[in-house]
Amino acid sequence: MQRIIKAAIAALWFMLLTLPVLGIKLNVAAKTVVWRFDRLLALGAGIFVLALIWDWCFSRKAAGTKIINLPQWFNLGEMVEAFKNRAGLRLGGLAVLAVVLIVMPLVSSFYQTNIMISALLYVMLALGLNIVVGLAGQLVLGYVAFYAIGAYTYGLLNQYFGLGFWTCLPIGGFLTVLFGLGLGFPVLRLRGDYLAIVTLGFGEIVRLTLQNWNTVTGGPRGVSDIPRPGFFGMSMDITASTTYIYYLVLAAVVVTIVVITRLKNSRVGLALQALREDEIACEAMGVDITRVKLSAFALGSCWAGFAGVIFAAKTTYINPSSFTFMESAMILSMVVLGGMGSIAGVVIAALILILAPEYLRAFSDYRMLLFGAIMVIMMLFRPQGLISGERRRYRISNLHGAEGGRS
């Protein structure tokens, strides 16, 4: 009975909370108010059922029992391990995925191709932030500032100097590295919430500068007529150009995944992970903390700069409203939801968070509510993310026995 009362209270609270959004529709032309009680009742019934399920799940979790008893043959962990350990299965899966991604723009609509370009750009951004947050453990809330710097680098250099896409792409990456180092130096001794506040301020400073420097950046009007990337001087219509940009972004994502995978297994990557686990112990072991932190900021910002240049070429128009704090929060959500330090998890989370709202437009009144509910459920029941980052394990053999054998 107590569960039913709690569920009813939760349903009533949600109905009152969403009353101005779902229950009231204003007709400005006719100056009338339309009450939509059917939607409120449907929402209340759904919340009532979800609250009962929620309470049941937590009671089983508190008792130490599994929420869902899956069949023995269905073990997701063993399936993932089998996929990793079997080279043939892994190569076959990657080959199928590669064929699907290559063929997709040729068989899908213009709209679908544009959505995939946006999703792949966010994959690049999430992987770049994963270096700073996932590998190095440095909480950054102003990552979108580097994205904006890369986009405006291409827009302004093209507007004032006539430079093309391929010339501005490395310049955008280089400038964001400089800004990343400039941000990294003052925050070397900061960590946790203090670091997050400083980086949040940096993101707002960049956005406000772009918005108010009218003589250079165009202010709120932004920069327009940015040319799309060319292909050996060939003239392309908008459909062919969009397909070309899709393959360009796909290649950039592949390069990003390869580079970050190699980075994780390098000396720099191991130093970043040691910094994430325990900064004091890392410094005591002789790791140069200053160099490692600056490397994290430089590498992470570089990929945001590349993504920004490609974004400006894709949209042909940029303005400061495209680079708000909500973009930084969305990119950080991808890293947390996918699993901090996990490359595959971040890629999957980025695709889900970008593609799901687009394909749920039929449920436009409820999709953000579903989005928030899914995020809350994930943080409660799987805080390590979809795919938790791998931790290196070392097994020390019996050295005394080995020495005795040799002697």
Q: Where does the pLDDT of residue 306 fall: very low under 50, low under 70, confident under 90, or very high at 90 and above?
A: very high
- The two structure tokens encoding residue 92: 């076959």
Cβ-Cβ contacts under 8 Å for 41 (sequence gap 6 or more)? none
Q: What is the pLDDT of residue 75?
A: 53
Angle 316-321-327 from CA coordinates, rounded to 5°: 100
DSSP secondary structure letter of residue 231: B
pLDDT value at position 364?
Answer: 60
Q: Residue 385 is which amino acid?
A: G
Residue 241: closest CA among 226, 255, 253, 256: 226
Task: Give residue 363's pLDDT.
Answer: 63
Cβ proximity of 135 and 297 under 8 Å: no
pLDDT more than 70, % of the chain: 85
> Domain limits of the chain?
2-62, 95-381
Please compute the mean of the pLDDT values over residues 164-188 and round it to a whole number.
90
123-142: per-residue pLDDT in tens? 999 999 999 988 888 888 88
Highest mean predicted confidence (pLDDT) among 22-31, 346-355, 374-383: 346-355
Long-range contacts of 216-224, Cβ-Cβ distance < 8 Å, separation of 24 or more: 216/156, 217/152, 217/156, 217/320, 218/319, 220/319, 220/320, 220/321, 221/319, 222/155, 222/317, 222/318, 222/319, 222/320, 223/152, 223/155, 223/156, 223/159, 223/312, 223/317, 223/318, 223/319, 224/316, 224/317
So what's the pLDDT on residue 390? 60
> What is the pLDDT of the chain when averaged over all its residues?
82
How buried is residue 141: exposed, middle or buried, by Cβ count under 10 Å (0-12/13-18/19+)? buried
- Name the pLDDT band for 340 (thresholds 50, 70, 90): confident
Query: What would the two tokens of residue 373 be?
Result: 């509910």
CB of 23 within 8 A of CB of 52? no
Which three-class secondary structure state does DSSP give residue 26? strand
For residues 179 and 65, the model is more confident at 179
What average pLDDT does this structure show over 295-317? 92
* Fold that domain 95-381 belongs to in CATH: ABC transporter involved in vitamin B12 uptake, BtuC (1.10.3470)
Which 3 state secondary structure label does DSSP give 285?
A: coil
- Rounded CA-CA distance 286/238 in Å is 54
Q: Is the pLDDT of residue 257 over 50?
A: yes
Q: Tokens 């290196």 belong to which residue?
A: 392
Identify whether the C-beta of residue 339 lies closer than 8 Å to the C-beta of residue 346. yes
Does residue 407 have a pLDDT over 80? no
- Render pLDDT for 15-54 as a digit per residue (tens, 0 to 9): 888 777 777 777 777 778 777 777 788 888 888 888 888 7
Task: Indicate whether 279 pLDDT > 50.
Answer: yes
Strand, coil or helix: what is 356? helix
- % of the chain at pLDDT higher than 90: 22
Nearest-angstrom CA–CA distance, 356 and 349: 10
Model pLDDT, residue 394: 57
Evaluate if residue 255 carries a pLDDT over 60: yes
